């Protein structure tokens, strides 16, 4: 007598789509276009997360001529910038904005991964 066995293989669960690594508001895209058109033409803004400040981490930005090994190039609203590979896990779903308030102006980050910020607002923790 022959015995046959039936093996059922379950399909892997569907993967949830991750939010974009980083997105730009219109104001941030416009400001980057203006910076790139001026003295930083041919350069890319590079965003890094560094250990710094009272809460432990801080956003750092500088201009680079080209992405480094492992850097991710993000293009949103027709503008490209670079994210350090080590910062990627901390930035998933982040929105970068450019705000003008009174006598100050600068890029700000709305990061859903942040669990808190220091009192001065210069650093965060996840």
What is the full DSSP assignment across the chain? ---------PPPPPPPPPPPSEEE-HHHHHHHHHHHHTTTTT-EEEEEEEEETTTEEEEEEEEESSPPTT-EEEEETTEEEEE-GGGHHHHTTEEEEEEEETTEEEEEEE-TT--EE-TTSS-EE-
pLDDT score recorded for residue 119: 47
Task: Look at residue 125 and tell me whether its pLDDT is greater than 60.
Answer: no
Instruction: Say what the pTM is.
Output: 0.74
pLDDT score recorded for residue 117: 58
Q: Residue 4 burial (CB < 10 Å; 0-12/13-18/19+)?
A: exposed
pLDDT score recorded for residue 2: 60
Q: Residue 114 burial (CB < 10 Å; 0-12/13-18/19+)?
A: middle
Mean pLDDT for the stretch of residues 35-49: 86
Query: Residue 49 — pLDDT band, cuts 50, 70, 90?
Result: confident
Mean pLDDT for the stretch of residues 41-50: 87
Write the pLDDT tens digit of every residue in 103-124: 888 898 888 877 655 544 555 5
Domains for the chain: give ranges and CATH numbers.
Answer: 22-112 (2.60.300.12)
């Amino acid at each position: 007598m022959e015995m046959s066995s039936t093996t059922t293989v379950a399909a892997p669960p569907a993967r949830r789509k991750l939010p974009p690594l980083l997105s730009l508001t219109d104001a941030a895209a416009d400001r980057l276009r203006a910076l790139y058109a001026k003295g930083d033409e041919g350069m890319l803004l590079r965003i890094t997360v560094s250990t710094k400040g009272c809460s432990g981490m801080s956003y750092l930005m500088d201009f680079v001529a080209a992405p480094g090994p492992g850097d991710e190039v993000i293009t949103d609203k027709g503008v490209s910038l670079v994210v350090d590979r080590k910062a990627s896990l901390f930035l998933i779903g982040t929105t970068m904005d450019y705000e003008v308030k009174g006598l100050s102006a600068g890029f700000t980050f709305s990061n859903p991964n942040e669990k808190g910020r220091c009192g001065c607002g210069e650093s965060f923790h996840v």
